[in-house]
């Protein structure tokens, strides 16, 4: 007590501002040097906020940014505040867990950084504790995490494991870091149960089965894929029964392997409640809300133990929220849509355990179904306290490690995994028969479709199939032999494109290699599923290509030619929006020719401005043709390159000036090219002259051409200087279709040529900000469906093996809806991916809430029943791809009212608020019509 009084007395001599500055300086020094093994301390957000306001009361009021601990010291309050009392972390403590349980002081499982607590470096905590005292002390270690294990995170929630000792059935809970080894866990178990190490073996006792013998003592618990609240079997080995134990070990291991294949370790698994980068307190970066000013009162909806604010639902169930565990809104929104699907709600609230398929090797030994069923029952139970889905997520990441950690994920990807996983766990078929599918071979579609569906049901029969699976007709046509293949495949959901148009805009830079003009960008419209011949034809029309010219299309990467598009049937879908294309006008000739590639290089300046390193490529290469039938000299290549570069001559500089201080090519060589007196550019027929030496142009007097610093790359990758010995014959390789020539641009040469037009090469399609028109222009859901059903060629990576040609062919594919499910799930493809970026489409889709009529889209014309659907749930995605937020709009059918489910916060909304540009996954139920709908649209 005396020591505490001395600490308080010492701090009383400091002003609030002095406290703030001292703690800020300590925090900055601590955060700069944080490393693995450091200790951080939890402090209640309530006390921390009080102290922040106290020490900032004399400062200018600023907004609070929770992204950095050191930035929190500039917060202000307009009124004078009393000095905080001692630190009181009691609101973080879970009193329901006894301290003598073996796990020490336990904190609540639902705490979030920045909302409930702040993480303080050890030096900061020590100083505050010396000043204020209090507690209890909640220390946590910094561990390595991330794909490369180089990121640092504070392990707020170490693993909580249940040690179960056999044969006594003694249980003992422990807390242990996921970075501890199996050997350390083994020693701890021996200490707890007072056993000798050679008497004990420990098992991964997941789902109360011997899943795996844990005998790799150097392996970490993280690498062993242990999950929160998992059982660990501590087995005492009787020395007299070593043989029987070995036999049991072997049989148990075989049983475990046959029952469950251990999923691969997730490389993205990070510590629970992490403080993301370098161990510094980065604030709470979940998607519950944006950063808030700590001077403002905390909203009631942020309180996980309060009500959700809905006051008009006293007698209705199904209005329970899900707490956000740290970027788990993607999971919460998908779960809420599934649990509010009436067929699933009814099924899982009844006795579904008898349908669990415990032996399915494709399933999750029933664990996913059990976890989902338990969570659904909690969400439909009376009471409004939000549920923390931590047990469900622990089971989820065991079988789908890609969803581990606290990163944001795609709600639709999680939904697809859940539907498939629940189906396999609940598959009524215990032994799947092998059935070989037959092609249609001219049989009636109805017969083939029923056969395919019967074969599918013989292997797949579950509540998921009953409710969510439909069937579509897939027609493939071979482009060579016209072989038609018809199959009828099941689907769980439809992924619809949001681009209503069948066209695509593409930008290509066109070069006139005869020296007629400067390069220019040309933007054309082509069929989205078109081929290279369509792009070349559109470019030819746009740039007024002459009848004796053709275009050579290439992709440019890193200032070099990456590939030639020489196959006219190559799909344009292979060209990404962030690719860069160039097209070169070259003459149509019958002679044997090669491509002459002119690669531009410039001096690479090192970090030391006084040191000049080697030459490196820059700008855009230029391509021309050169004849292989004629003898080619160094002077001939000089003529061709001079012609290609002539449009780049700066204004006021003619060829005579360009040759100043340069070695001139003899007049006999320059006869191959003549210049237009108006613009100092080569005459249009010059390029064909360079290819066909039999033709010359004598309309203008010949002029000397500058000798350019050109280097020819031979077969051995050696460089031949073309600036001397112009009459020497160049040996062309018979194996290579191209001739590679470098031009080294010195500063002196750049004074005569302007290469700016070579340095700017636009992307095929440059994404800009979403325009107002794009945000507001409606797109019909029917239009998206029509685009999905439109015939299109397969991508090259997914070519079809034609049974008639006995070859893989790029067939055209046509989908048709044949059999519709009771619940139709529609995924709007808002996210597109390219090599260097991810892009989200903010397109507003006008989807019907009532009377979504699919009757005319059913290919099975023998089904005369109307196919009407009504929307009852959807997920929404707001913001960008990496930092967005998911919510769900759900209609409670008993109430006939719509609600917004935003994690733990639920609010009543009108039907007019349902349809927004954030809609992502739509859930439709079949409307029961007078002619009585039949399961799966049959």
> Which residue numbers are catalytic?
329, 885
What's the burial of 112, exposed, middle or buried (CB within 10 Å: 0-12/13-18/19+)?
A: buried
Structure-token pair, residue 454:
């019967």
CA dihedral 357, 359, 362, 363 (to 10 degrees): 50
Report how far residue 82's alpha carbon sits from residue 55's, in angstroms, rounded to the nearest whole number. Answer: 10
Based on DSSP, count helices (H) and strands (E) in the chain, helices before strands. 22, 40
> Residue 194 has which token pair?
């007072």
Residue 772 CA to residue 193 CA, distance in Å, equals 68
Task: For residues 127 and 10, give the distance between their C-alpha atoms in angstroms, rounded to a whole number.
Answer: 11
Residue from 301, 319, 317, 298 nearest 309 by CA:
301
With beta carbons less than 8 A apart as the criterion, state whether 692 and 591 touch: yes
Strands 612-617 and 710-713: unpaired
Alpha helices (H) along 355-444: 367-379, 390-399, 411-425
β partners of residue 839: 832
CA distance 281 to 119: 6
Distance in angstroms (rounded) separating the CA atoms of residues 911 and 291: 30
Looking at the DSSP bridge assignments, the partners of residue 586 are 550
Q: Are 113 and 275 in contact (CB under 8 A)?
A: yes
Q: Tokens 């919510």: give the residue.
A: 887
DSSP H or E segment with residue 195:
none
What CA–CA distance (Å, rounded) separates 321 from 311?
14
Question: Does 658 sit behind a cis peptide bond, omega within 30 degrees of 0 on the bond before it?
Answer: no
Q: How many CB atoms lie within 10 A of CB 660?
A: 10
How many Å apart are CA 228 and CA 178, to the nearest integer? 10
Cα four-point dihedral sign 22, 26, 29, 31: negative
Angle of helix 367-379 relative to helix 329-339, nearest 10 degrees, comes to 80
* Omega within 30 of 0 (cis) for the link into 167: yes
CB atoms within 10 A of CB 80: 9
Using the 8-state DSSP alphabet, how is residue 92 labeled?
Answer: G
**What SS3 state is found at 59?**
coil
Instruction: Report how far Cα 353 is from the mean position of its chain's Cα atoms.
Output: 36
The rounded distance, in Å, linking the Cα atoms of 595 and 589 is: 13
How far apart are the C-alpha atoms of 166 and 256, rounded to whole Å? 18
φ and ψ of 632, to 5 deg: -115, 125
What residues pair up with 173 in beta bridges, in sequence order?
162
B/e letters for 423-461, b = 16+ CB within 10 Å, e = fewer, are bbbbbeeeeeeeeeeeebeeeebeebbebbbebbbeebb
Q: H-helix or E-strand containing 669?
A: helix 667-670
Q: What CA–CA distance (Å, rounded) separates 598 from 638?
A: 11
Report the distance separating Cα 99 and Cα 455, nearest Å. Answer: 58
The contacts of residue 549 (CB under 8 Å, 6+ apart) are 585, 586, 587, 588
- CA dist 382 and 401 (Å) reads 33
């Amino acid at each position: 007590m005396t020591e505490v009084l001395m600490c308080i007395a010492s701090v009383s001599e400091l002003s609030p501002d002095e406290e703030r500055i001292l703690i800020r300086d300590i925090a900055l020094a601590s955060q700069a040097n944080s490393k693995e093994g450091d200790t951080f301390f939890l402090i209640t957000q309530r006390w921390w906020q009080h102290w922040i306001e106290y020490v900032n009361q004399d400062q200018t009021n600023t907004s609070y940014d929770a992204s950095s601990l050191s930035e929190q010291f500039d917060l202000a309050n307009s009124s004078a505040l009393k000095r905080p009392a001692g630190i009181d972390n009691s609101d973080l403590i879970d009193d329901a867990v006894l301290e003598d349980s073996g796990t020490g002081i336990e904190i609540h499982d639902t705490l979030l950084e920045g909302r409930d607590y702040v993480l303080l470096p050890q030096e900061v905590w020590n100083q505050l504790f010396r000043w204020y005292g209090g507690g209890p002390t909640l220390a946590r270690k910094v561990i390595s995490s991330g794909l490369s294990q180089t990121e640092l995170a504070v392990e707020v929630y170490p693993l909580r494991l249940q040690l179960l000792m056999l044969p006594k059935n003694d249980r003992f809970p422990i807390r242990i870091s996921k970075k501890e080894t199996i050997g350390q866990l083994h020693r701890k178990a021996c200490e707890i149960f007072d056993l000798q190490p050679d008497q004990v073996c420990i098992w991964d006792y997941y789902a109360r089965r011997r899943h795996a013998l844990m005998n790799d003592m150097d392996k970490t618990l993280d690498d062993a894929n242990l999950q929160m609240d998992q059982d660990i079997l501590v087995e005492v080995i009787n020395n007299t029964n070593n043989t029987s134990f070995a036999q049991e070990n072997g049989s148990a291991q075989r049983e475990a392997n046959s029952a469950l294949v251990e999923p691969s370790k997730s490389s993205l698994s990070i510590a629970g409640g992490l403080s993301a980068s370098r161990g510094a307190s980065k604030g709470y970066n979940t998607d519950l809300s944006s950063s808030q000013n700590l001077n403002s009162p905390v909203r009631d909806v942020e309180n996980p133990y309060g009500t959700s604010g809905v006051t008009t639902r006293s007698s209705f169930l199904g209005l329970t929220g899900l707490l956000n565990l740290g970027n788990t809104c993607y999971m919460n929104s998908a779960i809420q849509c599934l649990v509010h699907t009436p067929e699933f709600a009814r099924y899982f609230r009844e006795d579904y355990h008898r349908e669990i398929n415990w032996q399915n090797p494709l399933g999750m030994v029933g664990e996913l179904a059990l976890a989902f069923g338990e969570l659904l029952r909690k969400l439909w139970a009376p009471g409004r306290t939000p549920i923390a889905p931590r047990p469900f997520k622990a089971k989820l990441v065991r079988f789908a490690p890609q969803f581990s950690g606290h990163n944001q994920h795609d709600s639709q990807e999680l939904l697809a995994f859940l539907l498939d996983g629940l189906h396999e766990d609940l598959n009524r078929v215990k032994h799947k028969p092998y059935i070989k599918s037959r092609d249609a071979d001219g049989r009636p579609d109805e017969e083939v479709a029923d056969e395919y569906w019967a074969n599918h049901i013989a292997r797949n029969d579950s509540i998921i199939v009953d409710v969510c699976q439909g069937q579509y007709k897939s027609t493939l046509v071979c482009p060579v032999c016209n072989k038609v293949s018809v199959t009828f495949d099941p689907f769980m959901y439809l992924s619809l494109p949001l681009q209503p148009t069948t066209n695509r805009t593409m930008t290509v830079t066109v070069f006139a290699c005869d020296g007629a003009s400067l390069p220019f960008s040309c933007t054309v419209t082509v069929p989205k599923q078109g081929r290279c011949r369509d792009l070349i034809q559109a470019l030819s029309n746009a740039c007024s290509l002459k009848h004796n010219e053709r275009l050579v299309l290439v992709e440019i990467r890193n200032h070099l030619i990456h590939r030639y598009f020489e196959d006219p049937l190559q799909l344009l879908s292979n060209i990404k929006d962030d690719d860069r294309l160039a097209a070169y006008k070259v003459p149509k000739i019958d002679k044997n020719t090669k491509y002459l590639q002119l690669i531009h290089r410039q001096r690479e300046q090192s970090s030391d401005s006084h040191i000049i390193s080697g030459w490196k490529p820059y700008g855009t290469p230029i391509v021309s043709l050169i004849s292989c039938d004629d003898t080619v000299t160094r002077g001939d290549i000089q003529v061709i390159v001079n012609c290609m570069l002539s449009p780049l001559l700066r204004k006021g500089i003619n060829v005579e000036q360009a040759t100043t201080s340069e070695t001139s090519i003899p007049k006999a060589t320059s006869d191959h090219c003549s210049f237009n007196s108006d613009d100092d550019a080569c005459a249009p027929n010059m390029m064909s002259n360079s290819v066909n030496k039999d033709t010359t142009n004598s309309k203008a007097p010949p002029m000397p051409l500058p000798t350019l610093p050109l280097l020819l790359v031979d077969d051995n990758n050696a460089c031949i200087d073309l600036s001397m010995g112009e009459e020497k014959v160049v040996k062309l390789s018979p194996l290579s279709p191209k001739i590679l020539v470098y031009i080294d641009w010195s500063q002196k040469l750049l004074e005569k040529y302007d290469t700016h037009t070579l340095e700017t090469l636009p992307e095929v399609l440059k994404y800009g900000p979403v325009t107002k028109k794009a945000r507001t222009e409606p797109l019909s859901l029917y239009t998206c469906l029509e685009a999905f059903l439109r015939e299109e060629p397969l991508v090259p990576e997914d070519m079809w093996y034609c049974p008639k040609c006995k070859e893989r062919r790029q067939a055209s594919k046509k989908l048709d809806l044949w059999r519709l499910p009771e619940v139709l799930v529609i995924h709007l493809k808002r996210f597109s991916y390219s090599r260097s970026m991810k892009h989200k489409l903010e397109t507003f889709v006008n989807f019907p809430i009532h009377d979504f009529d699919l009757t005319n889209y059913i290919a099975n014309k023998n089904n005369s029943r109307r196919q009407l659907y009504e929307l009852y749930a959807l997920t929404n995605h707001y913001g960008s791809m990496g930092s967005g937020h998911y919510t769900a709009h759900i209609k409670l059918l008993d109430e006939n009212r719509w609600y917004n489910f935003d994690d733990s916060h639920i609010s009543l909304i009108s039907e007019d608020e349902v349809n927004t540009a954030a809609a992502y996954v739509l859930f439709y139920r079949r409307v029961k019509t007078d002619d009585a709908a039949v399961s799966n649209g049959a």
